[in-house]
Amino acid sequence: MTKPESKRSSVAAINVTGKCATAFSAAEHVNDGPVESASSNMRAGVLKQSSRENLHRKNTECEVYDDGTNTFFWRAHTLTVLFILTCALVYVTLLEETPQDTTYNTKRGIVASILVFLCFGVTQAKDGPFTRPHPAYWRFWLCVSVVYELFLIFILFQTVHDGRQFMKYIDPKLGVALPERDYGGNCLIYDPGNATDPFHNIWDKMDGFVPAHFLGWYIKTLMIRDWWMCMIISVMFEFLEYSLEHQLPNFSECWWDHWIMDVLVCNGLGIYCGMKTLAWLSMKPYQWQGLWNIPTYKGKIKRIAFQFTPYSWVKFEWKPASTVRRWLAVLGIIFMFLLAELNTFYLKFVLWMPPEHYLVLLRLVFFVNVGGVAMREIYDFMDDPKFYKKFGQQAWLVAAITVTEFLIVVKYDPHTITLPIPFFIMQCWFLGLILIVFWTVWRFFFRDITLRYKETRRRKQEVPGDRPLGNGNTVTPSGRSKLNGSSETVRQRKS
């Protein structure tokens, strides 16, 4: 049950402890190797240069051992899928009587077209960075991304009334304006006026969104793989809720609901569990054997369970302060994450979908499956642009979907999103933007110029001693040989 295309058939790829190899041994071998001649010196210099360039990437990747077993599970089944699809179409054409219901036929035709496209994509689309539990699984979600983007484009080109009424074709219960629930109101943690249950405000907030917050941030941590970025996004979203509660009543929450239940309990606990899972994934050995090559039943069951874990592991090191390119990329990732979070609330508001509707849940499940692939493609594009010359296909689609969702919100309810933000909130956001701009200019422009100026000044102030030449003579600080005299003697001769 292993994929032969991804194997690295070398037992030496696994270190003695069975954990992820760090590739330091290769670099140390290059750095400590003996040099016997000038040509060996040059070759060693080239090896050192290449090892330094690739050391960061190697240190974040786990080595994998795969015995290369190729089973029925991993073989291509393009002809099988084509045969089954053709049989289904022949049955509909020759044996099934077409109903006279136009609405039913339209729905069934659209669904059949989508299924045919999914069959083509699952068998023919290009593989992404993930291969477990099966590459076809990730190709399926790539094709679902295309279908969802096309659906959003269709909704975007409708009038507001037609777009909302079109949702009735999906569910007849939709297309009706729904009131938003207000999570604010009485914010007393202990309500002495309620003798039967003084903590009723806390129990009222304990709905299905509490485990959803925890599970959501656990999965987001597995996507981003960085504690600081997760905490920044979590805190920033609470500030956005404060800033936009005049637009959506759903954002109006008590202070302890924002900072205690959301940031500390739900989000914080989800991020903590996610980081513990990342630590385990970075330390586990990645040794893959075919199911029939494992002698014990316990080993076979363990191998089946591990089929749903990553084939290999890459530790994300974003390093936003290293270069201006990475800094702007990290800011863009945070911005897109926050925009996608806001789209969840604004979309159901403008399309009149209740929070508990299954379409809202399906959208979240969709982003759970495509978000991890998109983040991996973004990280590869940032970390190794010489190898990954194109932006990843799943990352491209996720960015397009996020922007299209926001455009639907803008078109369907421009009055809500253009409600004026309170002045003191605008001042806070304006101050934050100014600080980010000033820090960016100082860190990547003024600071580098200052450091280069100090380094140049330090070199000028240093006066090196005479350096011996190969013929026994020495070189003065001016670079002239003593055979020609010092620089002062030369000046006297010229005068």
Q: How confident is the model at residue 453 (pLDDT cuts 50, 70, 90)?
A: confident
CA torsion angle for 35, 37, 39, 41 (degrees, to 10)?
30
Q: Name the β-bridge partners of 145.
A: none
- Over residues 91-123, the pLDDT tens digits come to 999 988 888 888 889 989 999 999 999 999 999
- Over residues 254-274, the pLDDT tens digits come to 888 888 888 888 999 999 999
Q: Is the peptide bond before 133 cis (omega within 30 degrees of 0)?
A: yes
Helix axes 209-224, 358-383, angle to 10 degrees: 20
**Better-scored residue on pLDDT, 352 or 292:** 352
Nearest alpha-carbon partner for 174 in 353, 375, 45: 353
- Over residues 375-432, the pLDDT tens digits come to 999 999 988 777 777 899 999 999 999 999 999 999 999 998 888 888 888 999 999 9
Which tokens go with 29?
Answer: 């071998």
**Better-scored residue on pLDDT, 408 or 74:** 408
- Over residues 348-370, the pLDDT tens digits come to 999 999 888 999 999 999 999 99
The pLDDT, as a whole number, for residue 451 is: 79
The pLDDT, as a whole number, for residue 217 is: 93
Highest-scoring range by mean pLDDT, 165-169, 245-249, 448-452: 165-169
The pLDDT, as a whole number, for residue 246 is: 86
Helix axes 393-412, 324-350, angle to 10 degrees: 50
Q: What residue ranges do the domains of the chain occupy? A: 169-419
Interatomic CA distance for residues 252 and 307, integer angstroms: 43
Share of the chain above pLDDT 90, in %: 41
Using an 8 Å Cβ cutoff, are 217 and 229 in contact? no
Q: How confident is the model at residue 344 (pLDDT cuts 50, 70, 90)?
A: very high
Question: Who contacts 266 (Cβ-Cβ below 8 Å, separation ≥6)?
Answer: 210, 213, 214, 217
Q: How confident is the model at residue 41 (pLDDT cuts 50, 70, 90)?
A: very low
Using an 8 Å Cβ cutoff, are 243 and 411 in contact? no
**Better-scored residue on pLDDT, 459 or 85:** 85
Mean pLDDT of the chain: 79
